Amino acid sequence: MKPKYLILLAVSTIVLLLDQATKLYIDRTMDLHTSVTVVQNFFNITYLRNKGAAFSFLANFSYRLPFFILISLVAAAVILVVFHKLRDDQRFTVVALALIFSGALGNLIDRVRLGEVIDFLDAHWYEHHWPAFNVADSAICVGVAFLAIDMIIEERRQKGK
């Protein structure tokens, strides 16, 4: 098996296990809408359910569940197609896409299993809260940041040639 596929398998396995284990733990140990302060005025563990996408986008859309499932499946398929075309030396891009792929799958599992996504990471500054998120969301964000960094590096590399 090519190294890039081993990286995809390893990253996806780790992210999916961590994402699903933390969501299961939160679901079994906390009541919905309860919160535990971790760092005063900065970070809580707060059990929420999100029917929409980021920032509860489209939460009240009547066909939201089939829509989000379809979008997740299409995104995963596109990522795999792009992934397949990557060169073996594009390790940073491989990790970035693996993070995005596994994050999308983690939230897809919730949507199929529960009809919504469990969120619990609550970052805030006093009363100003960032929307709650989860491990899958974090993986997607880190993966996108890695892709942006990789694009900048690649652009500079091309200019240097």
Per-residue pLDDT tens digits for 43-83:
999 999 988 666 555 556 667 788 888 989 999 999 999 99
Tally of CA atoms within 13 A in the half-sphere of 41 that contains its CB? 1
Integer Cα distance of 79 and 95 in angstroms: 12
Q: Catalytic pick from 19, 110, 137, 150?
A: 137
| Residue burial 65-99, b: 16+ Cβ < 10 Å; e: rest | eeebeeebeebbeebeeebeeeeeebeebbbbbbb
Q: Which two tokens stand for residue 158?
A: 């091309």
Q: Is 31 a catalytic site residue?
A: no
Query: Is 119 annotated in the active site?
Result: yes
How many Å apart are CA 31 and CA 11, to the nearest integer? 30
Per-residue pLDDT band for 154 (boundaries 50, 70, 90) equals confident
pLDDT tens-digit profile of 96-141? 999 999 999 999 999 999 999 999 999 999 999 899 999 999 999 9
Catalytic annotation, pick one of 19, 110, 119, 150: 119
